[in-house]
Chains A and B, each alone.
Chain A
Amino acid sequence: MNHSYFTPHENAVSITITGSGGSGAVTAGLVLLESVARAGLYGLMGRSVGPQIRGGESAAMVRFSSQPVDCPGDRFDLLVALDWRNVLRFVDEIPLDERSLIIADPAAGDAPEALTQSGAQLLTLPIKEIASGVKGGRINMVALGAVGAVCALPPDAMTESAAHTLAPKGDAVVAAATECILKGYDSVAEGRSFAAAPRPERARARWNISGNEASGLGALRGGVRFVAAYPITPATEILEWLAPRLEQLDGTLLQAEDELASVNMIIGASFGGVPALTTTSGPGLSLMMEGLGLAVASEIPAVVVNVMRGGPSTGIPTKSEQADLNIAIYGFHGDAPHLVLAPLSITDCIATTQWGVGLAERLQTVAIVLTDQSLGQARAVIDPPEMPLFTLSRQLADQPTDPYLRYRVTAEAVSPVTAPGTADGIYTGDGLEHNERGAPSSIAADHLAQLEKRQRKLEGFDYGKRWAEIEGEGDICLLTWGSSAGVVFEAANRLRAQGQTVRVLAVRLLAPLRTQILREAIGTAQRVLVVEQNHQAQFFHYLNAQQALPPSAESYARPGPLPIRPGEIVDLVQQGGDV
């Protein structure tokens, strides 16, 4: 299991590089993250962008440490402003204080009062002047060099990362970037580096991966070889990552005309025997619900990775929220048992997506995998992940009975299935209620038998220990799901450091809920706090509906777009509840 959550983060550093769209803030952040990896450290990079394609605001937010990083910190140690033009649009996302440092170029004008009133110190550097002294020089690389100096990152790690990241842009760009980084580095006087910054360690092999890439990799590892695609923020990168790689694995990606088509395309491919997946975000998932009901009824394996964003409707497409839990669990028409899973970290997007594909195949049903923008569009430097070995696959009817009973009610309620091409296994898949043979039927006994079969195959399956990540023992139980796990684990570690006893329960398998084991895992905790990022406390109410919570359980549900920070949870616990 994943032990990356044991992270005290006493020596983590948080940096943000901001600028107007096109200023190169995000590129600088990407190079910084890779530099962190080359320095033997771990890191997490989130990005904040406006809805504009060009000319908006953008910020790269990098937190790095000598231990794995799974959530943003409470505050920023360093803000580097490439310009001040649009910075006020995300000032709420950049908490600064008197220990923070702002690096800016006086030529870009004065720092806005909204930032300086935090008490942060200001370090002025002639960024623009330095860049103009380099042929083809860019301010973002000068700024990056300054960040490296302040954070005591080795210059080699930075220039090698820039060379790797910028290689597609040609040698001249790499040469200019290298010179800018070194000049930026030298522009910071000695003694200005953070004492608290984690020191570089002997470099070891690391992975640099985004949550969306991780979900795509999990899909491939799960055996997905057909993907239907309709673009939507913030899920599109999964599809873009998969498109060329499916071609390399003899698979197929098909761009659909809309989400109604994409979900039905994966049903068609999966009916053909090929494990299939699509990805979307909230509004797209709404359109897919009709097709997902069909997949449940016709028992065709189908997987949807839904990368959640602020909702409802178009909402806040570039920001994160965990607000699609209700539709994922309750959004189906009819009685439609299915799987809902949620990765707990960027790394976990690999294993949980892979598990979702395996379970959908094994149980011939729908799996919805709920990630979100904070995982999908963030990148992490991690240890090369241990890849789980699942033995979950579709049970094939190689030698079908005569007549072939496609929907035979078996002991475990999964009916071996044929794919077209199997001579004696001909059947018609149907969204109409049907008998065991697959012939349409509105007979009460057939309906009940098939409803029970579809429920029982999910309820009776042994999901093992992967249903949740459980850590610690204690009077306080912090209960959470999906992307909020990272921040909850860090808060728990801080509370433990203060002498509190805390248990964390981070749920991966949301449906079918392992209610009895969950109750046992909560045990006799005196205080139960349910943490999630949405406005309606969807997880809290779901758990209550399943009677999984003690009556005294409390909810901490806060919507996006601002991330939940570990200090919020620590404060909440310290303020005390009824206990």
Chain B
Amino acid sequence: MSTAQDRKNLKPKDYKSEIKPIWCPGCGHFSVLSAITKALAHLGLAKEQVALISGIGCSSRIPAYVDTYGFHGVHGRALAVASGLKAARPDLTVLTAGGDGDGFSIGGNHFLHACRRNMDLTYIAMDNEVYGMTKGQASPTTAPDWSHSKLTPHGTGIRRFQPAAIALASGASFIARGFSGDPSGLARLVVEAIQHPGFSFVHVLSPCPTFRPEQRAWKQQVHPCDLETTDNPIDAAHAIQSDDGRSLGIFYIESLPVWRSEKAAQRSLSRIEQEFLV
């Protein structure tokens, strides 16, 4: 077990594993990885007390690159794995990471219910508005007129999924947006998300230079959120809905009851078995 002093001396690079990421040059996910390791170092968390859980996709490869416990599961189910782990092991700091397809399409139902369950989890969704690993299809957050996929040559024609708005409507108690081009700012958001008791949703704009080269312009488009962080869901809804999707900051923090495993007066198994006696 590492001592508190050891942990204070841990640098962000100490939280990186020796495995080299598979990501393309210029991928936003590199900076998200840096932001996570910075946040862990800042908090001085013991590596063995942290678990990073993911599903499938480019961004979901991230657990192997962080030197904490990790689990790389199947597509869309990261939040379910993380919820089971946190429920059974409340002593751990459990982070979940993944992409827009993983979290909002195939994993959409788990996203809704993880928000409303309000377990003490941090969910970092790395959104590049495209399925990268399958080579460039429209995701739920892709604009309806984006016609560069062979799968939807005329664009999807359907409205974009609004992650922050849906998180709010579903009961998430911490909602923020960060940008991979600002790893220090993102690291601060992740620190606050981890410290927040309850379900913390960090929506990260993380460009895909391979399939969405136009996202390089995000650097010029992002801007701080106009409104102060609020605990009023009506104000938060207004801020999120009137937002251009490129504003950064913490939209909403509310103190809501956190899911916890109920405990009753303890009984032995042999006492429980006596119930069957006639």
Q: Which residues of chain A have a CB within 8 Å of any CB of chain B? A: 34, 37-38, 205-209, 213, 217, 220-221, 225-226, 228, 244-245, 247-252, 254, 256-258, 260-262, 264-274, 276, 290-291, 293-294, 298, 381, 384, 419-423, 425-432, 439-440
Contacts and interface: CB of A to CB of B under 8 A. Distances in A.
Given A274-B88, A294-B73, A421-B91, A248 B276 contact: no
Interface in B40-73: 46-51, 53, 61, 63-64, 67-73
Given A247-B264, A421-B91, 7 more contacts: A217-B272, A268-B53, A290-B74, A291-B77, A426-B47, A426-B48, A440-B64
Contacts of B83: 254, 261, 265, 268
B267 to A, nearest CB: 4
Contact of B267 (A221, A248, A298, A432): A248
A78 B70 CA distance: 61
B277 A207 contact: yes
13 contacts: A254-B84, A258-B109, A260-B109, A261-B83, A264-B74, A268-B88, A291-B74, A293-B74, A298-B71, A384-B276, A420-B89, A427-B70, A428-B63
Contacts of B19: 439
A426 B85 contact: no
Contacts of A213: 276
Contacts of B109: 257-258, 260-261
Interface string B236-278: 0000000000000000000000000111111101001100111
B212 interface: no
B113 A272 contact: no
B74 A254 contact: no
B88 A276 contact: yes
Contact of B85 (A38, A208, A269): A269
A257 B48 contact: no
Contacts of A426: 47-48, 67-69
Q: Which of A262, A276, A420 has the most CB of B within 10 A?
A: A420
A427 B69 contact: yes
A248 B73 contact: no
A421 B80 CA distance: 20
A249 B81 contact: no
A262 B79 CA distance: 11
Contacts of B84: 226, 228, 254, 264-270, 272, 276
A264 B272 contact: no
A245 B272 contact: yes
B113 A261 contact: yes
B164 interface: no
Nearest to B269: A220
A270 B88 CA distance: 8
B70 A421 contact: no
B64 A439 contact: yes
B77 A428 contact: no
B22 to A, nearest CB: 8
A512 B245 CA distance: 53
A265 B78 CA distance: 9
B36 to A, nearest CB: 14
Q: Which of B67, B80, B112 has the most CB of A within 10 A?
A: B80
B90 to A, nearest CB: 9
Chain B interface size, under 10 / 10 to 19 / 20 to 34 / 35 or more: 35 or more
A247 B48 CA distance: 27
A41 to B, nearest CB: 11
Contacts of A422: 48
* 9 A-B pairs with the lowest CB-CB distances in the bound complex, closest first: A268-B84, A265-B84, A428-B70, A269-B88, A264-B80, A268-B85, A268-B81, A257-B113, A272-B89
A293 to B, nearest CB: 8
Contacts of A431: 72-74
B64 A250 contact: no
A440 B64 CA distance: 8
A237 to B, nearest CB: 14
B234 interface: no
A383 to B, nearest CB: 11
Q: Which of B2, B82, B110, B276 has the most CB of A within 10 A?
A: B276
Interface in B96-128: 109-110, 112-113
Contacts of B261: 247, 251-252, 254
Contact of B272 (A220, A291, A294, A439): A220
Contacts of B112: 257
Nearest to A243: B262
B222 interface: no
A217 B274 CA distance: 12
A257 B74 contact: no
A118 B202 CA distance: 71
B102 to A, nearest CB: 13
B78 to A, nearest CB: 8
A420 B269 contact: no
A250 B265 CA distance: 9
A208 B77 contact: no
Contacts of A225: 88
A209 B71 CA distance: 39
B92 interface: yes
Contact of A428 (B64, B82, B85): B64
A352 B110 CA distance: 32
A524 B136 CA distance: 62
B143 interface: no
A221 B269 contact: yes
B135 to A, nearest CB: 17
Q: Which of B67, B74, B112 has the most CB of A within 10 A?
A: B74
Contacts of A251: 261
B81 A428 contact: no
Contacts of A425: 48
Given A207-B278, A420-B51, A265 B74 contact: no
